[in-house]
Every structure is written in C-alpha cells, then in structure tokens.
C-alpha cells in the first residue's frame, strides 16, 4: 500500500516536513535500466513501488492539478534526484539533473508548493545549461533562460534539501513568522491524526 498515492495524484509535502531537508540520492544506472527503484532511505512508505514511469506520470498530473510549474520527487515523498517542470512551453522530466554554466544574477518573487502562501524575493542565475536524463533514461542537455532557469534552480534546490526559506535573509523570514507558525501547527496536527489512525488499524 502507498500512503501518498491516490487516483494518479500525489500528496505534496508541506513545511516543516523533515523530508524537505534531506539531500536526495541519484537514480542508479540499474534503476534507469529497469525503470524501478531500489530501496530509498528516508522515503515515504510505498513510494518506491511506483516505478519510474508511474512516478513521473503522477508527478506531472499532480503539478498540473495544482497549477504548479515544477515539482521535485522529495516534495511527494521520494528522496531521489528527479523533477518535472514546465520548461520552454513543454513539460519535461529530468533525472539526475546537473546545472552548468550559470550566468547572470537577478532577483524575483518566488513561491513554492511546499510553502503555500509564501512569496519571497530570491536571487538566482538567469541563464544556465540543464543536463540530465529524460523519462526514458536518455541523456539530454538544454539551454535555459529567465523563468526556465529559475524553475530548474528551484527544483534542484529541493533535491539538495533547500527551500526558498534558506535563500532569503532574516527580515523576509520574519515577515512570514505567522504563516510559518500556522504551517507548523497544521503539520503537528496532521502528524498526531496519522498516528491515531495507525493505532486503530
């Protein structure tokens, strides 16, 4: 049974879930070949049973359903280096991404599906080359500019256990103190309710 999978959609983990702080491991050549995962330490129960094609399909469906432009595997409970994103007018899947030749610096207001309600001004490179493997395990590289470059950096941050909260200073975090406090309270409530449900089973 998969605790995070229902009718092709995945639950998105929200701050302060500990999984958002984890550094994800690469998908191995064996996993790419067989299109299924070996055990992944720290992941939610049942997520590795999905297999790579099902995971990517469900991540794309979930991202589109919530109106997002990117979604990383740890946001849905699987600690591997995978993300999906809307880049250059299409939805791409990227496995084991690497960002190269990052140039320019600009600031822009940025949100995050794992920090609902937060809008923070973040500085990022505005040009880069994205390298990785697609959903079939084939290597690719892509020049990304502007918003496309921003999305790639945001999603790779998630794979390194970094959220936009770590990209801003204390003054911006202070302005979010009430929102963060509410999200922390909601998280503790859901955690207690989950424990109670497991006791009843």
Residue where the block lists tokens 């999200």: 183
How far is C-alpha 150 from the chain's CA centre? 14
Which residues does 43 contact at the CB level (< 8 Å), separation at least 6? 19, 77, 78, 79, 80
Instruction: Tokens for 200, please give them.
Output: 């009843």
In sequence order, what E strands does the chain have? 5-6, 9-10, 70-72, 82-87, 90-103, 106-110, 120-124, 127-133, 139-145
Catalytic residues: 155
Question: What's the rounded Cα separation, in Å, for the pair 122 and 138?
Answer: 32
Angle at the Cα of 62 from the Cα atoms of 64 and 8, rounded to 5 degrees: 125
Return phi, psi of residue 148, to 5°: -60, -40
Q: How far apart are CA 120 and CA 97, in angstroms?
A: 24
């Amino acid at each position: 049974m998969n605790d995070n999978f229902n009718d092709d959609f995945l639950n998105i983990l929200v701050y302060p879930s500990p999984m958002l702080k984890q550094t994800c491991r690469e998908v191995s050549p064996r996993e790419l070949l067989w299109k299924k995962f070996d055990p992944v330490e720290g992941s939610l129960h049942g997520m590795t049973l999905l297999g790579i094609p099902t995971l990517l399909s469900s991540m794309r469906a979930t991202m589109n359903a919530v109106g997002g432009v990117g979604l990383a595997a740890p946001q849905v409970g699987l600690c591997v280096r995978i993300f999906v994103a809307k880049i250059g007018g299409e939805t791409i899947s990227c496995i084991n991404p690497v960002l190269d030749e990052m140039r320019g610096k600009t600031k822009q207001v940025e949100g995050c599906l794992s920090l609902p309600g937060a809008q923070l001004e973040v500085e990022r490179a505005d040009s880069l080359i994205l390298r990785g493997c697609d959903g079939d395990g084939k290597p690719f590289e892509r020049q990304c500019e502007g918003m496309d470059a921003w999305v790639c950096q945001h999603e790779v941050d998630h794979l390194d256990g970094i959220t936009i909260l770590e990209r801003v200073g204390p003054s911006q975090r202070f302005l979010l103190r009430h929102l963060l406090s509410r999200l922390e309270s909601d998280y503790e409530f859901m955690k207690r309710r989950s424990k109670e449900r497991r006791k009843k089973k």
